[in-house]
Chains A and B, each alone.
Chain A
Amino acid sequence: MRKRDEKPRPAPHIAAKIITVGAFSLLLIPLLAVVIYSFFAPVSAAGGLVWRPSLMWYERLFQDQLLGQTLILSLQVAAMTSVLATLLGVTGAMALERAQFPGRRFLASLTVVPLVMPELVMGLASVIWFAFLGVRLGVHTIVMAHVTFALSYVVITVRARLADFDTSLEEAAADLGATPGQVFRTVTLPLIAPAIVAGAMMAFTLSFDDFLISFFTAGAGSDTLPMRLYSMIRFGLNREIYALSSLLIFVTAIGMGVSYKLRVGRKI
């Protein structure tokens, strides 16, 4: 992004460097420890239990059917959230960025509220509301609550892109006789497509990762993967958790690698 030539910047003080190394250790070492631990299992030996390299926890993990169900449920919730949040977010962003109507600024600030509101408040506000309406809790209530916070990210990403590009392109298309629908399909949509994809992916990830709001809105029998992980930690010393956590860390690492490659590819 930066186009201007940069002057070399002053080197930070040695103390700042030490703090930086410390901070990155704090962020990474716990995750690394979990991954390492996941590959060791206890074996009885002469002097008691000895830890040996093993894939035992992973084997147990793949035999856990309940876990498979929660994974599928999480993926379903994330997919539904992503689709709904993207539809609502893109139309909303178009309206906020391109249209004039009373209450526009109010609606714009309302879309930011889920970003700043503590998750706990969002969760219990939803559960109070659903109870008042008499809506039974389940997968549908998780999705409704997830869409509410995920759409903020879609609106912000898509609005930023809409504000960024030259509206004269749309005007030119309209001058040349394109109907509003045609302008949107042939000019606007291709230009904001990257932002839509980014927003949809963000909505998916946020939903897939969410624990607290699901915890409140799930009801009995619709545990998501993070909820299952939480109860495994909370109620047992089950070491499959190491393996499950490691798998989730691997997924993140691979995802980051792929998106880094994609970004590098786009620059060239």
Chain B
Amino acid sequence: MKHKGVGLALPLALWLGAFLVLPVAFVAVYSLLKRGAYGEVIWTLSLHNYARAMDALYLGIFAKSLMLAALTTGVCMIIGLPLAYTIATATKTWRSLLLAVLMVPFLTNFVVRVYAIRVILGVEGPINRALIASGLLTEPLMMTDSLFAVAVGMVTNYLPFMTLPIYVVLEAFDFSLLEAAADLGARGWTILFKVILPLSRQGLVSGATLVFIPVLGEYMIPDLLGGARTMLLGNLMTEQFLKARDWPFGAALAMILILAMLGSFAVQRALAGKGATLAKA
């Protein structure tokens, strides 16, 4: 019985080795190589791509991408917590209906969803039409091709990823704790900060990881909503592969993103661990 499963595990292990482990290992290798004059790769090892990434131009792009990811995560938390709370406290019928609607974005094509936001914010879009028809504006507002549009796109797209983990926690939440807190004289904000927030910490933390990292590596939302002037990490990386043909530099940027991902997992583990002990105490 002991080694019976090795044969069964082999196809999966070989596949992941060939199409996951080796490719990612080669990103690491390529990040140390150099770009030749014609976009080919020169096999000399150096850290020069990483040194180049420390240029003020690229540091600015990293900073902007990190800030946008943090902003998106924060806004998703502020919307996601009350949203998850409302769903968790709804009647059973409403709960399953609301959850189904929350899943719609998961099931609609991503390109379509991003495009739909571009339509809404567009010059011919319903917001501009309504504002002009009501006489508040004479000229349409240019809302697409901006960092604002990118942020709207990010929040809309990633909100379910924040809401669902919080919902999972609140679904099992002991709501009599709220009565207890109220009986002990706690009011609105105190209940929110002393009872609801600490106890939904696990959900908030896993939601934050599900939002922060993908937003940091997002390509299509900045590309379709940000216009040519909005350069973020995802576009910068893609551009190295498609336009600049500087694969080693693109690989170095990917390694930086992987490191950021590992860092955020470490933070998540630390925070979730603390939350667990708090909840037990």
Q: Which residues of A contact B (CB under 8 A)?
A: 6-7, 9-13, 15-17, 19-20, 22-24, 26-31, 33-34, 37, 87-89, 91-92, 94-96, 98-101, 103-104, 107, 110-111, 113-114, 116-121, 124-129, 131-132, 144-145, 147-148, 151, 155, 180, 205, 209, 211-212, 216, 226, 229-230, 233-234, 241-242, 245, 248-249, 252, 255-256, 260
| B115 in contact with A241 (CB, 8 Å) | yes
Please judge, given known A-B contacts A30-B156, A111-B12, whether A248 and B108 are in contact too, CB under 8 Å. yes
Q: Which residue of A lies closest to B156 (CB)?
A: A26
Q: Which residue of B lies closest to A260 (CB)?
A: B100
Count contacts between A and B, CB distance < 8 Å: 240
Looking at the complex, which one of A19, A113, A248 makes contact with B109 (CB distance below 8 Å)?
Answer: A248
Q: How far is the CA of A160 from the CA of B117 in the complex (A)?
A: 36
Looking at the complex, which one of B12, B27, B98, B109 makes contact with A91 (CB distance below 8 Å)?
Answer: B12
**Chain A min CB distance to B122 (Å):** 10
Which chain A residues lie closer than 8 Å to B27 at the CB level? 121, 124-125, 128
Q: Which residue of B lies closest to A93 (CB)?
A: B12
B215-273 at interface with A (beta carbon < 8 Å) = 216-220, 223-224, 234, 237-238, 241, 247, 250-251, 254, 257-258, 261, 265
| B9 in contact with A107 (CB, 8 Å) | yes
B81-126 at interface with A (beta carbon < 8 Å) = 82-83, 85-89, 92, 98, 100-105, 107-113, 115-120, 125-126
Q: Which residues of B contact A (CB under 8 A)?
A: 1-6, 8-9, 11-13, 15-16, 19-24, 26-27, 30, 79, 82-83, 85-89, 92, 98, 100-105, 107-113, 115-120, 125-126, 155-156, 159-160, 163, 175-176, 178-179, 188, 209, 213-214, 216-220, 223-224, 234, 237-238, 241, 247, 250-251, 254, 257-258, 261, 265
Looking at the complex, which one of A6, A12, A28 makes contact with B85 (CB distance below 8 Å)?
Answer: A12
| A125 in contact with B175 (CB, 8 Å) | no
Which chain A residues lie closer than 8 Å to B19 at the CB level? 126, 129, 144-145, 147-148
| A120 in contact with B254 (CB, 8 Å) | yes
| A248 in contact with B88 (CB, 8 Å) | no
Looking at the complex, which one of A10, A31, A88 makes contact with B89 (CB distance below 8 Å)?
Answer: A10
Which chain A residues lie closer than 8 Å to B160 at the CB level? 27
Which chain B residues lie closer than 8 Å to A37 at the CB level? 119
A-B contact pairs, 30 of them (CB 8 A): A12-B82, A12-B86, A12-B89, A13-B82, A19-B86, A23-B79, A26-B155, A27-B156, A31-B108, A31-B113, A34-B115, A92-B13, A95-B9, A99-B5, A107-B9, A107-B12, A118-B217, A124-B27, A124-B237, A129-B26, A145-B19, A151-B15, A211-B220, A226-B111, A229-B115, A233-B115, A233-B224, A245-B109, A248-B108, A256-B104
Q: How far is the CA of A99 from the CA of B15 in the complex (A)?
A: 19
| B83 in contact with A226 (CB, 8 Å) | no
| B216 in contact with A211 (CB, 8 Å) | no
Please judge, given known A-B contacts A129-B26, A212-B219, whether A99 and B6 are in contact too, CB under 8 Å. yes
Q: Is the interface of B mostly helix, strand, loop or mixed?
A: helix
Please judge, given known A-B contacts A33-B126, A119-B217, whether A94 and B83 are in contact too, CB under 8 Å. no
6 closest A-B pairs (Cβ-Cβ)?
A99-B5, A118-B217, A92-B12, A30-B116, A95-B9, A16-B82
Which chain B residues lie closer than 8 Å to A95 at the CB level? 5-6, 8-9, 12
| B220 in contact with A148 (CB, 8 Å) | no
| A125 in contact with B82 (CB, 8 Å) | no
Q: How far is the CA of A20 from the CA of B26 in the complex (A)?
A: 45
Please judge, given known A-B contacts A26-B156, A117-B261, whether A230 and B220 are in contact too, CB under 8 Å. yes
| B224 in contact with A24 (CB, 8 Å) | no
Which chain A residues lie closer than 8 Å to B155 at the CB level? 26
| A94 in contact with B5 (CB, 8 Å) | yes
| B5 in contact with A26 (CB, 8 Å) | no
Please judge, given known A-B contacts A120-B234, A121-B257, whether A30 and B15 are in contact too, CB under 8 Å. no
Which chain A residues lie closer than 8 Å to B224 at the CB level? 230, 233-234
Given contacts A87-B11, A121-B254, could you give 14 more A-B pairs where the C-beta distance is less than 8 Å? A10-B89, A16-B85, A20-B86, A20-B87, A23-B79, A26-B159, A33-B126, A100-B1, A107-B16, A110-B16, A110-B20, A145-B19, A180-B4, A211-B220
Most chain A CB within a 10 A radius of its CB, from B79, B104, B116: B116
Q: Which residue of B lies closest to A115 (CB)?
A: B210
Which chain A residues lie closer than 8 Å to B247 at the CB level? 128, 131
Q: Which residue of B lies closest to A205 (CB)?
A: B107
| A124 in contact with B254 (CB, 8 Å) | yes
**Chain A min CB distance to B2 (Å):** 6
| B23 in contact with A129 (CB, 8 Å) | yes
Please judge, given known A-B contacts A95-B12, A101-B6, whether A128 and B108 are in contact too, CB under 8 Å. no
Which chain A residues lie closer than 8 Å to B217 at the CB level? 118-121
Q: How far is the CA of A211 from the CA of B109 in the complex (A)?
A: 9
Which chain B residues lie closer than 8 Å to A10 at the CB level? 89, 175, 178-179
